[in-house]
Amino acid sequence: MSPSPKRPRRRRVDAHKLGDRLRELDVLLVCGSGGVGKTSIAATIALDEAMRGRRVCVLTIDPAKRLAQAMGLDRLDDRERKVKLPAGAADGGSLHGLMLDPKTAFDRLVAEASATDEERERILANRVYQQVSQSTAGMQEYMALERLYELDRGGKYDLIVVDTPPASHARELLESPHRMLRFLNGRSLRWFLKPGAKMGKFGLKALGGSGGPVVGILERITGAQMLRDTTEFFESVEGIIGQASDRIKVVERMFASPKTGFLAVTSPERESVEQAVAFWELLEERHYRFVGTVVNRIEPLAPGSLTSQAELEALDGIDTSFATRIVAAQVDHAELARRDGSRLDELADATGDALTISVPRLPRIVNDLDGLRELAPFLAT
């Protein structure tokens, strides 16, 4: 796991804590594999920064939908919902949360880019548009970035925290602007935008005839009057392609901005740690700002030496069999704690000057504001 000697290394700045780095950011994307507590970490960071007096919005595109529960809300949707901060919040602090709805975000992009109300309604009502806006590869990830762009452009917040999909999709999140550009500039789309590619004999012939395989595939996807809907859709979106392409380039620039940071959340398990290192390497290649890694649910090493079997047997009510089991449990726990500590060291060595923050396994599941506040001090150390 040690870094390649060919990779440039930056000077480690151990004293520069997470809170200090967050003050330098407008946007923080929290990434990690499923089940490592990524949503809880994202919500904790958002709450803690709001308690310190910043205006914060946390956006989730994680289908688990646990963020609403953790922040004490009945539900989250595409609207920004205000979270009631606990007592003790600094003046000026506020916290809002929202859940991404990719279809709503795409509809809003169409509405903004359409020249007239009639054009907007024609696109939104088109059956091909309805299919494309919900099922195009990378649509959820890209629409999350569109929503992030809207929030950032609005200037209402000092910090926007994004709870991203699981780490297996982290690359898809980063590559979604390129994928949308390829879609908008693809040959198939450009063919439909040609003046000759209209409904009628020419269009049917170019697609292999009414019984051709391309027509058959599209009919199975979109149903009756497929060709008419398809050509009308592409004619309608022709006017917004340029504007959409410009927006995509702005989103890419946002990724590269020093005001945008990425934070990985992992567990001390080997596979999860390796995913975090691979994610750091990906960001290094693209020159994106990697803030650090939160290693969640670390097994803490108990202070002092292990209690011996003789000491346990000397206590009233503990027989030899029970004492043996206690000693074995202590040994197993100590070994697990040493393993977790070793993984932390490996991760810190592999990720340059990025922070490596350990959060111990807590005695209860974090699913409310009180739990988030209990978690916050561990992120500050």
Mean pLDDT of 109-113: 78
Say which range, 26-35, 121-130, 258-267, has the weakest mean pLDDT. 121-130
**Binning pLDDT at 50, 70 and 90, where does residue 202 land?**
very low
8 Å CB contact between 272 and 36: yes
For residue 13, the model assigns a pLDDT of 40
- Predicted TM-score (pTM) of the model is 0.76
Integer angstrom CA distances of residue 361 from 54, 82, 229, 267, 298: 28, 29, 54, 10, 5
Distance CA 124, CA 120 (A): 6
Secondary structure (3-state) at 124: helix
Helices (H) and strands (E) in the chain, counts: 16, 8
Distance CA 141, CA 122 (A): 25
**Binning pLDDT at 50, 70 and 90, where does residue 54 land?**
very high
Q: Any idea what DSSP says for residue 301?
A: P
Dihedral of alpha carbons 365, 371, 374, 376, sign = positive
Where helices occur in 193-319 by DSSP H, the ranges are 201-206, 213-222, 226-256, 270-286, 309-313
What structural domains and CATH numbers belong to the chain? Answer: 18-303+335-379 (3.40.50.300)
Nearest C-alpha neighbor of 14 from the set 361, 364, 349, 368: 349
Could you tell me what percent of the chain has a pLDDT over 70? 71
Six-digit token pair at 306? 């292990």
Say which range, 12-21, 266-275, 366-375, has the weakest mean pLDDT. 12-21
**Binning pLDDT at 50, 70 and 90, where does residue 301 land?**
confident
